[in-house]
Amino acid sequence: MRHVTRSRAATTLAAVLVLTLGACKDEGPSVSAPTAPASVPSASTSSAPEASTSSTSPAGPTSSSGSSAPSASSSGTPAGTSASAVVAASRTSSLGATSASVRTVVPKKSQDISTRGRLDGSNQEVTVQTSAKGRATVRRVGTASWVKGDDRFWSGVQASPSDRKAALGRWLPLGGEQSDQGITGTSLLTEYWDAVADLPLAQGTVAATTYAGRPALQVSVGSGFMLTVTPDPKHLPLQSRTTEQTYTFSEWDAVPGYSPPPSTQLVPAAAARNLSRSLG
């Protein structure tokens, strides 16, 4: 099956995140082809819930929080529910949402990418973290953007020790092409759903489950793919696991808007000029 790459987003993202994404460029999310049916292997991180079995029947809409472990059951599945139908509804409803939090973690590559805000990217924060390049967050409000990075990130753009110290915990305004926001909630969702489309969903199963203590449904395809969704007709995605990575989806149509950082949280002017030159 096709592997989803990060290059499409990386080549249009602000230079600040391209630098951070360098370690994972062209090595982005992929949904593994399933093997014979079995339990879904965990690709968890410390913040990602795990799946286990229970006998809860679906009821009303669930919380979209990813902080509690889901549990699945082979019984209690709604009659006539197919994996293909659940996935189709989930894709349509998620791409039709206004805002959400979307996070993908690839433990073997120490790669963590998340977006939170409006899915079209007009008001959002994107955070990228790798073990080699550090952590950076870009906030976008309208046409303006700011970046905040850790010391490893600023070291990677060859900032001086004094400028790195001045930038820690503060936002640097971005201008021109640097403010272009290539990674959005919609781009992550689209890449995910395009990869899922390659799976043999006709062979998939649907089971009743609980997620964050509330009823949900779980779609499984072999031992390589699991998707937990809300049990209502929208089937909004909550979590997905493959043999390589974990996706967490939350705050559907519930993310508060971001505001520009106040002047007290901006990098001092002298250091800001130097850092902007470092970013190119």
Q: Decide if 48 contacts 198 (C-beta within 8 A).
A: no
Closest C-alpha to 218, from 32, 35, 68, 75: 75
The structure tokens 């967050």 sit at: 137
Tell me which DSSP letter residue 266 carries: B
Tell me which DSSP letter residue 265 carries: G
Question: Six-digit token pair at 232?
Answer: 């209502």
Instruction: Quote the pTM value.
Output: 0.77
Alpha-carbon distance of 190 to 252, in angstroms, equals 16
Q: Decide if 137 contacts 125 (C-beta within 8 A).
A: yes
The structure tokens 């409803």 sit at: 93
Tell me which DSSP letter residue 171 carries: B
Question: Per-residue pLDDT tens for 61-119?
Answer: 333 333 444 554 444 556 568 999 999 999 999 999 999 999 999 999 999 999 999 99
Task: Give the distance between the most distant pair of CA atoms in the chain.
Answer: 65
Between strands 52-53 and 71-72, the pairing is parallel
Which CATH topology does 7-250 take? outer membrane lipoprotein receptor (LolB), chain A (2.50.20)
Closest C-alpha to 247, from 255, 236, 258: 236
| Amino acid at position 20, single letter | T
- pLDDT score recorded for residue 56: 33
Q: Decide if 209 contacts 72 (C-beta within 8 A).
A: yes
Question: Per-residue pLDDT tens for 113-136?
Answer: 999 999 999 999 999 999 999 999
Q: Decide if 135 contacts 125 (C-beta within 8 A).
A: no
Q: What average pLDDT does range 26-32 have in this prediction?
A: 45
Question: Six-digit token pair at 108?
Answer: 């073997």
At residue 4, what are phi and psi to the nearest 5 degrees? -80, 130
- pLDDT score recorded for residue 181: 56
Question: Six-digit token pair at 61?
Answer: 């809409």
- pLDDT score recorded for residue 78: 62
Domain ranges of the chain: 7-250
- pLDDT score recorded for residue 57: 32
Band of residue 203 on the pLDDT scale cut at 50, 70, 90: very high
Alpha-carbon distance of 220 to 106, in angstroms, equals 20
Residue 16 pLDDT > 60: no
Question: Per-residue pLDDT tens for 230-252?
Answer: 999 999 999 999 989 999 999 99
How confident is the prediction for the chain on average, in pLDDT?
78
| Amino acid at position 220, single letter | S
Alpha-carbon distance of 137 to 156, in angstroms, equals 15
CB atoms near residue 118 (< 10 Å): 20
